């Protein structure tokens, strides 16, 4: 369905239409994904932290700053997110012996198992762009990279 039909509106020009279309589509996809995460009692930033920790677990513990640099939302309070994940037993953290202001964080076996059991979220992510061919997804990625400059 076209964005005009979806919103029953008009746009000043194609640039305005493109920006509204991108924003509307993002919010729609994000809502669907958040509903999947909610079933597991996680927020999107918590899921993001767990996935980063899983991806870098071969390198051992990482710092809060390392996590912050890899967050999708750069304004996230990573220390607070890590604390909540720690309370759930999904991550461990210790003070850095070289700099006590820093914390070292790693994913626990429970955290790895938890992510593994979240197959429905992974399947949801994999099917969100199902209407596009792989070539179209590659083109979309290229265009989004180009928008960000």
74 part of a folded domain: yes
Domain that holds residue 72: 42-117
21 part of a folded domain: no
Residue 37 Cα to chain centre, angstroms? 11
77 part of a folded domain: yes
Between strands 103-107 and 62-63, the pairing is: antiparallel
Q: Please say if the pLDDT value at position 106 is more than 90.
A: yes
5 part of a folded domain: no
132 part of a folded domain: no
Q: For position 110, which CATH number holds?
A: 1.10.10.10
Residue for token pair 């980063």 = 52
Q: What are the pLDDT digits (tens) for 33-75?
A: 888 889 899 999 999 999 999 999 998 899 999 999 999 888 8
104 part of a folded domain: yes
108 part of a folded domain: yes
Q: Please say if the pLDDT value at position 89 is more than 90.
A: yes
Count of the separate structural domains present in the chain: 1
Pairwise pLDDT comparison (129 vs 142), residue with the higher score: 142
Mean of pLDDT values over 120-147? 88
Cα distances (Å, whole numbers) of residue 146 to 13, 29, 131, 138: 20, 21, 22, 12
128 part of a folded domain: no
pLDDT value at residue 139: 96
Task: Give me 15's structure tokens.
Answer: 């640039």
Rounded Cα–Cα distance for residues 89 and 82 (Å): 10
């Amino acid at each position: 369905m076209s964005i005009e039909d979806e919103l029953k509106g008009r746009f000043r020009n194609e640039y305005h239409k493109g920006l509204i279309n991108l924003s509307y589509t993002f919010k729609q996809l994000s809502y669907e994904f958040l509903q999947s995460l909610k079933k597991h009692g996680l927020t999107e930033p918590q899921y993001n932290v767990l996935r980063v920790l899983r991806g870098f677990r071969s390198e051992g513990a990482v710092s809060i700053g390392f996590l912050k640099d890899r967050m999708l939302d750069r304004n996230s309070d990573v220390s607070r997110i890590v604390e909540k994940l720690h309370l759930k037993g999904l991550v461990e953290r210790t003070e850095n012996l070289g700099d006590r202001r820093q914390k070292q964080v790693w994913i626990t076996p429970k955290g790895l198992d938890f992510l593994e059991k979240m197959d429905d979220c992974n399947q949801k992510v994999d099917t969100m762009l199902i209407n596009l061919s792989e070539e179209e997804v590659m083109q979309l990625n290229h265009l989004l990279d180009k928008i960000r400059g």
